[in-house]
Structure 1
Amino acid sequence: MVVSLSSHNVIQYLRSSDLCSSEDGTSSNSELPESKKNLNLLVTLADNRKLLVKQKRSIDLWDGKEQFFNEWLFDQLLEKFPVIGNIGAIASSVVHFDEENSILIRNYLSEYQELGNYYQQNDIFPQAIATTIGDTLGALHRATFNRREYRDFMATAPAGQFRYHFNNPAQGIESIAPEIFGMVPTPALKFYALYQKYDNLESAIGDLANDWQPCCLTHNDLKLDNILIHSRWEHLDNAIVRLIDWEACAWGDPAFDLGTLLASYLKIWLDSLVVDPTIELEESLQLAVTPLETLQPSMLALIQAYLKAFPNILEYRNDFLLRVIQFAGLALMHQIEATIKYDKYFDNISISMLQVAKNLLTMPQLAMLTVFGISESEILKPVAKLEKLPQPESKQNLLRLYYPKTRLRGC
């Protein structure tokens, strides 16, 4: 019989799993905010230790079990290969995995908060934080790059299951069928009309998927909500960030991780737009509460720290930065689709986000100038001095990541 956890029976489950004693109890606020995929329970034990208890809501579906299995497998990887486990900012700390009931329990990092919340509350974007993230991610990708023992370990399948290949996350929008008219709000149909209208957009996504070359261990869901920042990070020399929620981790393309992360920064800019029917899109983007120029130093620090930690990726893929930009565009596309699917919402901000995503995907060389504020050759210059890497020809023209007026013909 499948166990369905709640704040009323979680302690009983922990006791039956030998994870706490009869003296342990829960705090009065043990249930964390709702998640679309998981039930999250925060349990405080008698010694003030805290456990995060997660259970998939649709535990009859295999994908939920597989994701928790992936996070547990990643935790086992850190134990088996200390070289990876010693990378400071990688955190898993899984203490219990119940595959049958889709339950995963790990230690709760009470002195940390989500980086996305930190940015929102403080409205500052310290380069030191971005540098640490880039250095950590580069260290992980470098340590596992083309290492067969790590790849074989991550190919481990749950009992009774088989893994024939690793998932390719470089996918476009799901096939559009007549049923969509009853599933999404009418304004959201504009998104699908525009997506179908731009042939070069679908072609660019197809090229990304076809050229997907997994070569190292990747997080595959590296957004700001899955990065924690220490409450006293300014006073620490290390351990200021932690990368969490490794449910989607697999052998993959490192550009996908970086692109997903860049998209999270770009989304801060796009979510801060001033939206009004009397304001043109171009003016709205310029009046953003959080200007793109405010985020550029952190995004640049992130990418340069990554390349400093893992310069060899440029020899393996000389188009690496271009693919990072394209994956950022793809991540924005997926964000729009998720908002429509789960929140039933689509507005002018979503339209501007679609236009930005399109330009990132179809014109990455030019879009890179706008995202980072400098050209590709300037980004690579510090690494090239150390590694004697060939530098691409410098581009001087900036590309708008949006059109002055969004065209909605055919909607």
Structure 2
Amino acid sequence: FLPGLVSYEDNPPLLVLELLRQAKPLWQQFRAGEERAFLLRVSHALGSALGTIHHTFQNPALVQGPHLGWLPRQVPGALEIHKPGPEVLATLSSANWQTLHILQTHEHLSERLDGLRRLWQPETVIHNDLRADNVFVLPGLGGTTGPVEIRILDWEFVQFGDPAWDVAGVLQDFIHGWIHSMDLTGSLDFEALEKSAYCSRQELQEAIRLFWQGYRTVAERRAAETERLLDRAVAFSAARLIQTAYELGQFLNTIARESVLLLQVGANILGNPEAAQVHLYGIPQEFTSGHSTCSSRPVGDN
């Protein structure tokens, strides 16, 4: 699931990895309008890859040993995005001052963001910046129906942390990509916006369910642990969406409509994470364990 190692030199430091010929980043696959069945296979493959990585590095002896003991272990700054320090305040754009004002003047939103730090549960090696930019799909190795091969790149933020943070990164990227594809030039009526997106909410939820199915199948966790991890991931995804809203406004004078939607969705998730799991991400409560007999059809299908 990582690019293959070709060579490594100590002095000068040099790392040579395999060349991924004709591989495409995941976001490009979605924007290119690839066949829906292929994108569903990619979603499942990403879940399997991430679950395997998290399971592999859960061994305390491995992550505390000489090879991985140097990894950072801090809580991500995005969990304190509503309370930036002076070094961050000095660099905020006008748009991000508006974003910060929204976060700090909505008391319940600020309180719920405060609570996210208490959920943090470090237990394995995490990528820490998982998004579609950092996932590459290899061409044609699985044919039209076989397994899809992917590679996860850009590990410069790797650390020992909560696996739910990586899962949250994928969840927020599904939602952000969906919102980004909407026509935001007219009304912000959500029904109209949904119709303008590259896929329906039901199709999006099917991809998310297959990602989660791939993850939990290989992660080898007890049902209760799996459920708690997903609970944290859904809550953390709100912070990831808010972080993305900040990133979009980095060089803007006025907060963008896309950022407003991301903030609203993030606030809604924090207000009712259980409802967000079912109605936004499309993962029924009984689908959290590895023993569910629930189908992967979109919610609402008969």
Displacement after TM superposition at 1:311 (Å): 4.0
Partner of 1:51: none
**2:243 corresponds to 1:334:** yes
SS in 2 for 1:175: coil
Partner of 1:223: 131
SS in 1 for 2:193: helix
Q: How many residues in Structure 1 have an aligned counterpart in Structure 2? A: 289
Residue 219 of structure 1 contacts residue 250 of structure 1 at CA under 8 Å; is this kept in 2?
Answer: yes
Question: Measured at CA, do residues 315 and 369 of structure 1 come closer, stay the same or move farther in structure 2, by a change above 3 Å?
Answer: closer
> What percentage of aligned pairs have identical amino acids?
20
Deviates more, 1:202-211 or 1:230-239: 230-239
Question: Measured at CA, do residues 189 and 235 of structure 1 come closer, stay the same or move farther in structure 2, by a change above 3 Å?
Answer: same
Letter paired with 1:132:
A
Partner of 1:90: 2
TM-score normalised over the length of structure 1: 0.62
Q: State the alpha-carbon separation in 2 of the partners of residues 154 and 172 from structure 1.
A: 30
Deviations 1:207-265 (A, max 9, x none): 22123111111111111111111121441845611111111112111111111011111
Letter paired with 2:55:
R
Letter paired with 2:173:
S
Partner of 1:172: 80
Q: State the alpha-carbon separation in 1 of the partners of residues 216 and 11 from structure 2.
A: 38
Displacement after TM superposition at 1:106 (Å): 2.9
Question: Measured at CA, do residues 324 and 150 of structure 1 come closer, stay the same or move farther in structure 2, by a change above 3 Å?
Answer: same
Partner of 1:86: none
Partner of 2:182: 273
Partner of 1:247: 156
Question: Measured at CA, do residues 191 and 124 of structure 1 come closer, stay the same or move farther in structure 2, by a change above 3 Å?
Answer: farther
SS in 1 for 2:165: helix
Q: Larger RCO: Structure 1 or Structure 2 (Cα < 8 Å, ≥ 6 residues apart)? A: 2
Letter paired with 2:204:
L
Correspondent of 1:109 among 12, 15, 20: 20
Partner of 1:370: 279
Residue 90 of structure 1 contacts residue 243 of structure 1 at CA under 8 Å; is this kept in 2?
Answer: yes
Deviations 1:36-93 (A, max 9, x none): xxxxxxxxxxxxxxxxxxxxxxxxxxxxxxxxxxxxxxxxxxxxxxxxxxxxx23252
For structure 1, which runs of at least 5 residues remain unmatched after alignment? 1-88, 158-162, 387-395, 398-411
**2:285 corresponds to 1:285:** no
**2:111 corresponds to 1:203:** yes
Residue 122 of structure 2 contacts residue 162 of structure 2 at CA under 8 Å; is this kept in 1?
Answer: yes
Q: State the alpha-carbon separation in 1 of the partners of residues 192 and 90 from structure 2.
A: 30
Letter paired with 1:147:
P
Displacement after TM superposition at 1:292 (Å): 2.5
Q: State the alpha-carbon separation in 1 of the partners of residues 43 and 99 from structure 2.
A: 32
SS in 2 for 1:152: coil
SS in 1 for 2:62: helix
Partner of 1:298: 207
Question: Measured at CA, do residues 96 and 203 of structure 1 come closer, stay the same or move farther in structure 2, by a change above 3 Å?
Answer: farther
**Mapping 1:10-409, distance limit 5 Å:** 89-91=1-3, 93=5, 95-96=7-8, 105-125=16-36, 126-153=39-66, 155-157=68-70, 166-169=73-76, 171-173=79-81, 174-175=83-84, 180=89, 183-185=92-94, 187-235=95-143, 237-238=146-147, 240-277=149-186, 279-290=187-198, 291-312=200-221, 314-316=223-225, 318-341=227-250, 346-377=255-286, 379-380=287-288, 383-384=290-291
Displacement after TM superposition at 1:133 (Å): 1.2
SS in 1 for 2:249: helix
Displacement after TM superposition at 1:287 (Å): 3.0
Question: Measured at CA, do residues 110 and 267 of structure 1 come closer, stay the same or move farther in structure 2, by a change above 3 Å?
Answer: same
Partner of 2:296: none
Residue 138 of structure 1 contacts residue 310 of structure 1 at CA under 8 Å; is this kept in 2?
Answer: yes
Question: Measured at CA, do residues 343 and 123 of structure 1 come closer, stay the same or move farther in structure 2, by a change above 3 Å?
Answer: farther
Question: For the pair shown, which has the larger CA radius of gyration, 1 or 2?
Answer: 1
For structure 2, which runs of at least 5 residues remain unmatched after alignment? 294-298
Q: State the alpha-carbon separation in 2 of the partners of residues 98 and 262 from structure 1.
A: 38
Structure 1 vs Structure 2 CA RMSD: 3.1
Deviations 1:181-200 (A, max 9, x none): 98413x44331221112223
SS in 2 for 1:319: helix
Q: State the alpha-carbon separation in 2 of the partners of residues 179 and 139 from structure 1.
A: 35
TM-score normalised over the length of structure 2: 0.82
Residue 262 of structure 1 contacts residue 328 of structure 1 at CA under 8 Å; is this kept in 2?
Answer: yes
Displacement after TM superposition at 1:203 (Å): 2.5
Question: Measured at CA, do residues 189 and 239 of structure 1 come closer, stay the same or move farther in structure 2, by a change above 3 Å?
Answer: same
